[in-house]
Structure 1
Amino acid sequence: MRRTGMNPFQPWQSAFAFWSMMAEAQTVIALRTLGMVGVLPASPRENHTMFAEKGPAFVEAAIAAGAAAMAGKSPDQIAHAAIKPIARRTGANVKRLTKPRT
């Protein structure tokens, strides 16, 4: 039997990255909603930021997934590559939105 060098934990790593990103996305949605209704302080540009960041994030994710597919990566590695750019943005948003305002 030939070994392909596949990491047996890769599907779990991809799943964890996906669920972490989803939890961060839900946190961002909750924080932005609370900012919109005035419960939390929010930047006046937050509504613009919310829409402006989506397109570039998904384009970057599609490019990363395409590059991984063209490199012959496994489906879970392709998914992980697609999740990474979006997770980077959701993490940055959580950090920014939870930072105390002065």
Structure 2
Amino acid sequence: MKSLRPWFEAWQFAAEAQQVIALRMMQFWRNDPSAGREATRMVTEKMAAAAEAHAAAASALMIGQSATTALRRAAIPYRRRVRANRRRLS
């Protein structure tokens, strides 16, 4: 039987991402003074995470690792940021 761990981790990541979205939306709806900074941070973080993910996947593929490994490595920057944002915004 295959492990359910990857499914659980995907579910956990999706739940954390939804929580971050909800927390940010509440900030925007309340007209919080820091909402503008948060919006800027959100965009710059996404760009940085995308660059890191691309580099991680490319590096894995260049050294001969599987596409599955490359995808796992590409997800790490996103997971790290989502988790940090959830903690910071909660």
- What interval of TM-score do these two structures reach, taking the shorter chain for normalisation? 0.7 to 0.9
TM-score for the superposition, normalised by structure 2:
0.81
Q: 1:67 to 1:18 in 2, by over 3 A?
A: farther
4+ runs of 1 displaced by more than 3 Å? 12-19
- Larger relative contact order (CA 8 Å, sep ≥ 6): 1
Whether 2:65 is the aligned partner of 1:73: answer yes
Residue pair 1:60, 1:85 contacting (<8 A) in 2 also: yes
Whether 2:16 is the aligned partner of 1:24: answer yes
5+ residue gaps, structure 1, are 1-7
5+ residue gaps, structure 2, are none
RMSD (Å), alpha carbons: 2.2
Q: 1:85 to 1:72 in 2, by over 3 A?
A: same
1:67 Cα deviation after fit: 0.7
Instruction: Output the amino acid matched with 1:46.
Output: E
In 2: Cα distance, 1:16 partner to 1:37 partner: 31
1:42-67 per-position Cα deviation (integer Å, ceiling 9, x unaligned): 73411111111110110000100111
Q: Which of structures 1 and 2 has the bigger CA Rg?
A: 1
In 2: Cα distance, 1:65 partner to 1:93 partner: 23
Partner of 1:3: none
**Paired residues, what number?**
88
1:77 Cα deviation after fit: 1.1
1:19 Cα deviation after fit: 3.2
Whether 2:55 is the aligned partner of 1:63: answer yes
In 1: Cα distance, 2:58 partner to 2:77 partner: 13
In 1: Cα distance, 2:8 partner to 2:67 partner: 15
1:14 Cα deviation after fit: 4.5
Instruction: Output the amino acid matched with 2:87.
Output: K
